[in-house]
């Protein structure tokens, strides 16, 4: 799955679950400062990413993610461990 495909899916997740305009979802966007996610939203996002990848996300790995680009990198890492 390419970064662009992951970004498209992340945009869907943010729009469907957090009612955030997909145009605001850029790799540079900060999850908490710019997109107004809170800690509960972050947990919900992690669950959606687990559903998307079929892999469990370790909380300590996802805790350091601060941007959409970081989410993309985390998804790429999860998908790489599947291969």
Q: Which of 5, 7, 4, 62 lies closest to 29 in space, CA to CA?
A: 7
Q: Residue 44 is inside which H or E element, if any?
A: helix 39-53
CB 31 within 8 A of CB 65: yes
Alpha-carbon torsion, ordered 34, 39, 45, 46, to 10 deg: 130
List of domains in the chain:
3-82 (1.10.1200.10)
pLDDT at residue number 56: 86
CB 10 within 8 A of CB 72: yes
pLDDT at residue number 8: 97
pLDDT at residue number 83: 52
What confidence tens digit (pLDDT) does each residue in 7-34 have? Answer: 999 999 999 999 999 999 999 999 999 9
CA dist., res. 80 & res. 83, Å (int):
6
What confidence tens digit (pLDDT) does each residue in 24-74 have? Answer: 999 999 999 999 999 899 989 999 999 999 988 887 778 889 999 999 999
pLDDT at residue number 27: 97
């Amino acid at each position: 799955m390419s970064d662009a495909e992951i970004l498209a899916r992340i945009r869907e997740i943010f729009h469907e679950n957090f009612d955030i305009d997909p145009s605001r979802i850029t790799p540079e966007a900060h999850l908490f400062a710019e997109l107004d996610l809170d800690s509960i939203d972050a947990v919900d996002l992690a669950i959606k990413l687990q559903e998307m990848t079929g892999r469990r996300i370790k909380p300590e790995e996802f805790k350091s993610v601060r941007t959409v680009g970081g989410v993309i990198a985390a998804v790429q890492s999860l998908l790489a461990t599947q291969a």
